[in-house]
Chains A and B, each alone.
Chain A
Amino acid sequence: MNLEFTPEEQAFRAEVREFLRTRLPVSIREKVLEGRELSRADYVLWQRLMHERGWGGMSWPTSVGGAAWNAVQQYIYEEESSRAGAPRLIPFGIKMVAPVLIAFGSPAQQQRFLPDISSGAAWWCQGYSEPGSGSDLASLRTRAVLEGNEYVVNGQKTWNTLGQYADWIFCLVRTDSKSKPQAGISFLLIDMKSPGITVRPIALLDGGHEVNEIWFENVRVPVENRIGEENRGWTYAKFLLGHERTGIAGVGISKRELARLKLIAREQRGEGGRPLIEDPLFAARIARLELDLTALEITNLRVLSAEGVERAPGPAASILKIKGSEILQSISELLMRAAGPWALPLRREAMEAGWQIDPTRDGASPAYAATVTASYLNLRKLSIFGGTNEIQKNIVAQMLGL
């Protein structure tokens, strides 16, 4: 029993670190570390740089041009890239639709779509949730009717993330309304430039434009854009949902943000003029979070190393999701509270690239205070998306036999 990474894993970490040191653009790095929003171009550039290094499809098999990283290597990448301030990789292409294409797509579909996912040339988004179908996904109602060689799609998707940037959307659609809800669903790949698609932003509590509603009105989709068989889409969707679990705990990001929190708690003064880090209550909150994060890191590594042996389905993914989201939400809450009253001003533009603190406009605000509240508000999503934490607890209980 030991906690040390193998020499091979350490060499891999050094390789990742060197890549990040030499290839991560400073402008992107600063935005990430200061908690600002990234542009489409930033994300695409980073995916292209990863691709040029041979890491575009990091977890895909080498037979389709992937780097075939195992779970531990993906964990190491997540940790190092978070620390260095690299953008998160947009998951919808490389981590969601690509594994489905690799497992269930035809060779023609793989050749057509995978290269552009790896290089960042095509931006993908997800069409799962509907206004009436949140956690109960199988109740979806968007319909696709086969006419000749085309499906005609009508319906509405919602909570679509960053679809305003997307070239393609993968969608669950109902192709049979007579059988059981799960048995009448198909998995379609739809060109976002198709006539009849309308994307409308949903205004969120932090003022950002991150999610959309998407309408489909008689959108025509060639039948060759269907994955696998008709009415088997639920199987592919479940595969997708169960596939990606390595980054689910977000340990790397939480470690980075905790370090930032400590830095701010050293600068801010608490009661009696002492640095906040010396305030007994605030220090206790930080320490308690750090302990939870330490434990979660080991829990995560235990899951990864067990997956090397056997890929047993268990409550592990749900535990990582619940604890990971709770911890990052709590860190963001403390970051906001550390800024004290300087967390009050609303400065939407501070989220944007190139924003600089300006005393004539922003008063005496410390620069770091400008983004902490928006981040706190935004991260409330963590315990809601990807299956709410309450749904995750249902899953855990079910796995335990209840």
Chain B
Amino acid sequence: MDFQLSEEQRQLKEAVGSFLAREFPFDRLKALKREGHGHDERLWRGLVELGVPALLVPSEAGGLGFGPVETLALMEASGPYLLLEPVFASAVLATGLLAELAGEPAVDQLLEELARGARIATLAHFEPDSRYDLAAVQARAIRESGGWRINGRKSFVLQAGMADVLIVSARMADEHLALFLVPRSAPGVTLIEYPLIDGQRAADLVLEGVRVSEEGRVGAPDRAGAALEAAIAQAMAALAAEAVAIMQALLDATVSYLQTRQQFGQPIGRFQALQHRVAEMLMHLEQARSMSLLAALRCRSADRSERLRALSGAKALIGEASRFVGQQAVQLHGGMGMTEELQVSHWFKRLTAIDLWFGDSDTHLSRYIALMQAEEAAAV
């Protein structure tokens, strides 16, 4: 039993944390959000030099070959900075997915390019009507001579505007799922971009007869579904760690505000109603931290039921904790909590967004209940 990061993991966390503290002050985030396109090439280069996009790339493909605990260290360090760079979209989610399919030539080549920051990738999987159902894919891939033609529509494609490669899921004639590596600039690809509540950008994709070469189809004949499940499991663990880091930042900011804000001739932190609220925020945070560790340590477990229970359990509990800590941080900051000026509101919006990705707390509580009931039914 060991809850410490290894020396190497700790160094990674410190390197990312001190780089961002130096290079990405909150004013810079506000300025980027105002500009609207949400990308800072220089910052991304710095993260590339720190090895961030190489983290999940297998060592055979020129990466660092790391896993969920290193991802946790990365997200805990970067979480409070609310990066607009494609760390989660490309370095965690897309790269994690491709790492599941390592060995296929097109995948290995792309992984090698991702590791050195030469390209950015993003996953285009969810569709307008799929909500949180991983299996609800209607996009079709039709075979033609020398390759494939893709038709369909994708939604919530994170950072699509800055991605070079879209990893598009589609069903083939036999209903099997495969993944297609599509250059964003490919003919037939239309992006409808929109900003998200947390300042990140996403897009709907309209795919009309998009041509993909034979090598551009990966995860066939039947590996794509399992690879997606594994990659999203790892991505959920990463978001759990990010949420915990943001909750910690919100708690720290709230405590410090209560220590300094004076009303009725004393710091408002003297009022017991507010003290108890802060104590409850800390309890939510510590319970959430425990679930984030569980998610990181179990997200690659071979036992599917154990894995899904840990992940859905973490998503459910952390989603609830995030709502409590986020809402109370805004509340305890009073009117100031409502402003764009303080980072509190930005953290709150990011927590709100994290809950809505890959199934909110109720969705995952339902999934957890189903797993529990299945186990109880088996025990009879």
Which residues of A approach B to under 8 Å, CB–CB? 1-6, 9, 72, 262, 265-266, 277-278, 280, 283-284, 286-288, 290-292, 294-299, 301-302, 305-306, 315, 318-319, 322-323, 390, 392-394, 396-398, 400-402
CB distance from B293 to the nearest CB of A (A): 6
List chain A residues, Cβ under 8 A from B31: none
List chain B residues, Cβ under 8 A from A277: 373, 376
| A302 interface neighbour in B3, B5, B369, Cβ under 8 Å | B3
Docked Cα-Cα span, A277 to B373, in Å, equals 7
List chain B residues, Cβ under 8 A from A288: 365
Contact A294 B286 (CB under 8 A): no
Which of these binds chain A: B52-60, B95-103, B274-282? B274-282
Contact B373 A298 (CB under 8 A): no
Contact B290 A298 (CB under 8 A): yes
B50 close to A (CB within 8 Å): no
**Who on chain A is nearest to B72 by CB?**
A1
**Who on chain B is nearest to A396 by CB?**
B279
**Who on chain B is nearest to A318 by CB?**
B279
Write out, one digit per residue, whether chain B residues 249-288 have a CB within 8 A of any chain A CB (1) or not (0).
Answer: 0010001001100000000011010111011101100111
**Who on chain B is nearest to A6 by CB?**
B1
Contact A287 B365 (CB under 8 A): yes
CB distance from A7 to the nearest CB of B (A): 12
List chain A residues, Cβ under 8 A from B296: 1
Given A9-B1, A72-B1, A400-B278: A291 touches B316 (CB 8 Å cut-off): yes
Contact A1 B2 (CB under 8 A): yes
Contact B369 A287 (CB under 8 A): yes
Closest 3 CB pairs of A and B: A397-B275, A298-B290, A396-B279
Which residues of B approach A to under 8 Å, CB–CB? 1-6, 9, 69, 251, 255, 258-259, 269-270, 272, 274-276, 278-280, 282-283, 286-291, 293-294, 296-297, 313, 316-317, 365, 368-369, 372-373, 376, 379-380
Contact B270 A402 (CB under 8 A): yes
Task: Provide 26 A-B residue pairs closer than 8 Å at the C-beta atoms, listed in order of the A residue.
Answer: A1-B3, A1-B6, A1-B297, A3-B1, A3-B293, A262-B376, A266-B380, A292-B317, A295-B287, A297-B290, A298-B290, A298-B293, A299-B286, A301-B1, A302-B293, A315-B282, A318-B279, A393-B275, A393-B279, A397-B278, A398-B275, A400-B278, A401-B255, A401-B259, A402-B270, A402-B275
Contact A319 B283 (CB under 8 A): yes
CB distance from B8 to the nearest CB of A (A): 12
Contact A5 B376 (CB under 8 A): no
Docked Cα-Cα span, A319 to B278, in Å, equals 12
Docked Cα-Cα span, A390 to B274, in Å, equals 12
**Who on chain A is nearest to B366 by CB?**
A284
List chain B residues, Cβ under 8 A from A323: 283, 287
Q: Interface centre among B6, B316, B376, by most A CB within 10 Å? A: B376
Q: Interface centre among B9, B258, B286, by most A CB within 10 Å? A: B286
List chain A residues, Cβ under 8 A from B373: 277-278, 283
Docked Cα-Cα span, A262 to B369, in Å, equals 12
Docked Cα-Cα span, A297 to B251, in Å, equals 23
CB distance from B112 to the nearest CB of A (A): 28
| B259 interface neighbour in A262, A286, A295, A402, Cβ under 8 Å | A402
Docked Cα-Cα span, A277 to B368, in Å, equals 13
Given A1-B2, A3-B1, A291-B317: A400 touches B297 (CB 8 Å cut-off): no
CB distance from A298 to the nearest CB of B (A): 4
Contact A287 B368 (CB under 8 A): yes
CB distance from B219 to the nearest CB of A (A): 30
Docked Cα-Cα span, A63 to B69, in Å, equals 42
**Who on chain B is nearest to A290 by CB?**
B372
| B276 interface neighbour in A9, A305, A393, Cβ under 8 Å | A393
Docked Cα-Cα span, A394 to B275, in Å, equals 7
List chain A residues, Cβ under 8 A from B269: 397, 401-402
CB distance from A267 to the nearest CB of B (A): 10
Given contacts A1-B69, A400-B251, A402-B270, 17 further A-B contacts (CB under 8 A): A1-B9, A3-B293, A5-B1, A266-B380, A283-B373, A287-B369, A291-B368, A294-B294, A295-B287, A295-B288, A296-B290, A298-B291, A299-B289, A302-B289, A305-B1, A401-B269, A402-B255
Contact B293 A1 (CB under 8 A): yes
**Who on chain B is nearest to A283 by CB?**
B369
List chain A residues, Cβ under 8 A from B2: 1-2, 305
**Who on chain A is nearest to B268 by CB?**
A402
Given A299-B286, A305-B3: A284 touches B380 (CB 8 Å cut-off): no
Docked Cα-Cα span, A296 to B2, in Å, equals 16
Contact B276 A390 (CB under 8 A): yes
List chain B residues, Cβ under 8 A from A5: 1
Contact A284 B365 (CB under 8 A): yes
Contact B278 A294 (CB under 8 A): no
Contact A2 B276 (CB under 8 A): no
List chain B residues, Cβ under 8 A from A287: 365, 368-369, 372
List chain A residues, Cβ under 8 A from B317: 291-292, 295
**Who on chain B is nearest to A9 by CB?**
B1
CB distance from B274 to the nearest CB of A (A): 8
**Who on chain A is nearest to B379 by CB?**
A266
Contact B255 A319 (CB under 8 A): no
CB distance from A109 to the nearest CB of B (A): 37
Contact A295 B372 (CB under 8 A): no
CB distance from A303 to the nearest CB of B (A): 9
Docked Cα-Cα span, A390 to B275, in Å, equals 10
Docked Cα-Cα span, A400 to B276, in Å, equals 11
Contact A286 B276 (CB under 8 A): no
Docked Cα-Cα span, A304 to B379, in Å, equals 33
**Who on chain A is nearest to B368 by CB?**
A287
| B372 interface neighbour in A283, A298, A392, Cβ under 8 Å | A283
List chain A residues, Cβ under 8 A from B286: 299, 319
Docked Cα-Cα span, A294 to B291, in Å, equals 8
Contact B1 A4 (CB under 8 A): yes
**Who on chain A is nearest to B270 by CB?**
A402
Docked Cα-Cα span, A12 to B19, in Å, equals 45
Contact A1 B365 (CB under 8 A): no
Contact B313 A291 (CB under 8 A): yes
Docked Cα-Cα span, A143 to B50, in Å, equals 68
List chain A residues, Cβ under 8 A from B380: 266
Contact B279 A397 (CB under 8 A): yes
CB distance from A9 to the nearest CB of B (A): 7
Contact A284 B291 (CB under 8 A): no
CB distance from B231 to the nearest CB of A (A): 21
Docked Cα-Cα span, A74 to B283, in Å, equals 24
Given A262-B376, A298-B293: A393 touches B280 (CB 8 Å cut-off): yes
Contact B376 A2 (CB under 8 A): no
Contact A306 B365 (CB under 8 A): no
**Who on chain B is nearest to A298 by CB?**
B290
| B313 interface neighbour in A3, A294, A390, Cβ under 8 Å | A294
Docked Cα-Cα span, A339 to B296, in Å, equals 38
List chain A residues, Cβ under 8 A from B4: 1
Docked Cα-Cα span, A277 to B380, in Å, equals 12
CB distance from B252 to the nearest CB of A (A): 9
Contact A396 B294 (CB under 8 A): no
List chain A residues, Cβ under 8 A from B297: 1-3
